[in-house]
Amino acid sequence: MTVCGCAKTQAFSLVELLIVLALMLILYTMCFSFGSAVHQKTQKELCADNLQKLYLALQIYGNDFGTFPANTNAQTSEAVLTALVPRYTADTALFICPGGRDSQIPSGVPLNKYKISYAYYMGRGTNEASDVVLMSDRQINNLSKNTGEQVFSLNGKTPGNNHYKYGGNLLFCDGSVQAIPSRAPFSLAFTNGIVLLNPKP
């Protein structure tokens, strides 16, 4: 009589595999979901690209008119930036921050009937200093801000939450973009004649 000398193999049970998969899914969701820092870092980079492309449209507009768009009756940034569409850009997707949840706008249509994602400092000239802010992600309000004051959402709730609670981007008058935290690391104060226009609430 022969006895099998085979050792019993050990393997994961189906329940153990399902538990591991569930844990991996939870970790993935925590790291890459809408409100995660990793997700918003990627979205901020895409947002910066949008703002730089919008700067090109603003610059061409400025070359034609000697100043950036202005509308003395404007209450929101859409009412002013609609001057760029479609002559200076037909790509209305640029006006929607990838980090936010704003609806897309049909290509080439005026912006004033829709909601965009960006704030605009109306009244800036084309000869401003390079460190002057021209546009930004949606801010918490239309007020001038000093160093340390809140610019963007601190808790991921509206207003100013294009990038949840992870700050936002600033577009400067030289076309550069800088990501900042929710509180201003430097002064964003503006002088008389400049109006900060947020998009529609």
Q: What are the pLDDT tens digits along the chain (201 aa)?
A: 555 555 566 777 888 778 888 777 776 665 555 555 665 677 899 999 999 999 999 999 999 999 999 999 999 999 999 999 999 999 999 999 998 889 999 999 999 999 999 999 999 999 999 899 999 999 999 999 999 999 999 999 999 999 999 999 999 999 999 999 999 999 999 988 999 999 999
User: What pLDDT is recorded for position 38?
Assistant: 62
Q: What is the pTM of this model?
A: 0.81
Domain boundaries defined on the chain: 37-197
Whole-angstrom Cα distance, residue 146 to residue 119?
17
pLDDT in tens, 48-69: 999 999 999 999 999 999 999 9
The single-letter code of the amino acid at 18 is L
User: What pLDDT is recorded for position 41?
Assistant: 74
Whole-angstrom Cα distance, residue 33 to residue 42?
12
Whole-angstrom Cα distance, residue 80 to residue 123?
11
Q: Which residues have C-beta within 8 Å of that of residue 199, sequence separation ≥ 6?
A: 76, 77, 78, 115, 116, 117, 118, 119, 138
Q: Which helix (H) or strand (E) holds 178?
A: strand 177-180
What tokens does 7 get?
Answer: 């050792």
User: What pLDDT is recorded for position 7?
Assistant: 59
Please count the residues of the chain.
Answer: 201
